[in-house]
Amino acid sequence: MTNWSLATEVFSLVMSIILLINFHEKRWPYSRKSKFYLVSLSLTIASIILNILCVHSLENVAQYIPKWIHLLINSGYFILILLMVTVVACYLLEIIYEHIYERVWMYRLRKIFIGITIGYLALVVSNPLTGFLFWFNEGNHYLRGPLNQLGYYLMALEVAMILGCALLNWKHLSKSTRQVIRTLPPSVILLTVFQLIYPDHLLNGGIMVITDIIMLFNFQSNRIEADSQTGLGNRSCLYQQIERKVQLHSYFQVIAVSLSRFNLVNQNYGADKGDAFLYEVGRWLGELSPQVQAYRMGNVEFCVLLPYQGDVQAECWAKTVEQRFRQTWEVGEIKAVLPACCVEVVYCGEQWNCSNIIEFINYSFRHAGSEQRMVRFNQQLFACWNRDREVLSLLRQAVRDHLLEVWYQPLYDCKTGQYNSAEALLRMRDREGKLISPSIFIPLAEENGLVDELTWFALEEICRFLGRKEQGVRSVSLNMSAQQFASSDLIRRIDDCLRRYQVRPEQLKIEITERVLSEDPERMSVIINQLRGMGVCFYLDDFGTGYSNLSRLLGIPISCVKLDRSIISGYPSDKRSCAMVETMVHLFHQIGCHIVAEGVEDELAARHLRMIGVDWIQGFYYAKPMPEEAFTAFVSEHLCILDAGNED
């Protein structure tokens, strides 16, 4: 009778259990690969336990155990070994074809592996009658049959097919997959050859553990590029996969999801439950299709890559995702709707790169705004993106070469009838000299970090203009964003500019919005008080857009409040608008603030606003924004008219 050494098998069992514990504790990315890995670990542990049980029973208690039990446990061991090999082979197929959408050969090889397993299973089942694999003599001694080592040859056949498949698709394989292919098959082959040469040393468990460890390396490589909270791929991983697919000219569909108002979930249920909802979203997206690759792009932004299989299938996937986010999500006993904006980009071999596609996704999100809908990056949106890119190029050139223009919109003084102040507005022209709407280039400046340069350019031009003694206005106001107030040298730069052009601080008015005030009220209060101490006054712009409250304004020294055009638009024909405007005018006058009414475009509104005591009126009814020379001429002309009227 052969004496087998169980030391290697016991060590392999311990290692397998450690790997299984590690698998559950690390919360690996939820995918088909992770399922294959879990099944492989489970089969490894089960087969090693059976092998130890078989050897122990044959060497120590063989005479006390019926032959049918020996046959049963040994047959189970033979079955588990080949099942393990088939699972690993299918896993390798999965990672080889991870970035390949033409998977005909993957499906064919998988059928071959399953066929081999079924055939071997039939051989094991018939073995008690044939003894082809093993048999027991009258003393219950284990004897090898003529096909005892068939499992090793079948395993070698599967390994050979995997290697051939990998070599044919080598250029499509990721770095981590190539490492697995370079390491796993040679290691298994060497250990198998050793087992065949020295059959008394049981290495089957060792071979399987080595296989699981090498597979683990592949997981760890993926884990580095995985989001720790959801287990999905992270932004870096997404970029790599898109770049690879573009390089291989693989057609694919991208569906990105941005959750709306998700902060309400955290507020209502707590951060832990919010994280659980994010995990559920990631899990659902990861299981959308066997061919899906899911990623977490940002805090509440997700993305899936799918093979493009025609417009009908793409439409189906888009609708499936969009409709799911109109339904309820559950975490334990908590149910919540997670509204989302969805974006679809389809790549069909265009001359795009990864950066372009990511830009398309972000651009589509911005285009959608706060709406919960599916936005498809189509030809129309592509044309808008090209236009914005051209405008951005012009804007950068204009900033670099000081080609921007500062225009001035006069403010009508209701008490004196003069145009003695104005608001400064930036203007930019295209290559043909036509004006580009600020609603186009200002948002682009904000998105691309150019607001700072625009603001300091405007301040310089305003101070130069105010430094001219003949310009005829008392003050000019300039909009400033939160970015300027975050600068540590804001006060120094303003003071330096005023001094260089010999402009009195009270001639400069700084306009800030309610949103800027609400971001850091304490810091804003300190800065405003310091500038007020110098003599610079502040206007609150766009009042009524909903970012602030009256109690906050009481603690900040605002000289003037500009009522937003959205409030003025219904005045005076709408009774509710009348009540609101008149109440605010009275209230702000009571606390010492002047009032500017913005967006006034007709004589009726202007007359009623003058009657209720508005201090200044700004709008197209009196004057549109105009270049510096035209503005100077406009002010001079009206001064002459006013002087002539006074003389009469």
Mean pLDDT by runs of 10 across the 648 residues of the chain is: 66 82 64 75 84 75 73 84 84 76 81 91 89 80 82 84 87 74 78 72 73 70 63 84 86 93 88 88 86 88 92 93 92 89 93 92 85 87 91 92 92 92 94 90 89 93 88 89 85 94 94 82 86 93 67 78 88 88 92 93 93 95 94 87 54
In 458-583, where do the E strands start and end? 475-479, 508-513, 537-543, 560-563
Q: Which CATH superfamily is domain 235-377 in?
A: Reverse transcriptase/Diguanylate cyclase domain (3.30.70.270)
Tokens of 284: 């659902």
Query: The dihedral of CA 174, 176, 179, 181: what is its sign?
Result: negative
3-state secondary structure of 307: strand
- The residues of the chain that CATH labels 3.20.20.450 are 406-647
- Looking at residue 584, its amino acid is M
Residue with tokens 């503005």: 631
Q: What is the pLDDT of residue 261?
A: 85
| CATH no. of 7-224 | 1.20.1070.10
SS3 367: helix
CB hemisphere CA count around 391 (13 angstroms): 24
Rounded distance, CA 230 to CA 233, Å?
9
Residue 265 tokens, joined: 């979930």
| Residue intervals in the chain for CATH 3.30.70.270 | 235-377
Instruction: Give SS3 for 147.
Output: coil
Maximal C-alpha separation, the chain: 138
CA-to-CA distance for 186 and 412, rounded, in angstroms? 86
The answer to whether 37 and 45 have CB atoms below 8 angstroms apart is: no
- Considering only the top CATH level, what class is 406-647? alpha beta
CA angle 9/15/20 to nearest 5° reads 125
SS3 label, residue 630: helix
Task: Report the distance separating Cα 231 and Cα 30, nearest Å.
Answer: 6
For the chain, where do the domains classified as CATH 1.20.1070.10 start and end?
7-224
Beta pairing, strands 616-618 & 374-376 = unpaired
**Which residue from 646, 584, 638, 648 is spatially nearest to 413, judged by alpha carbons?**
638
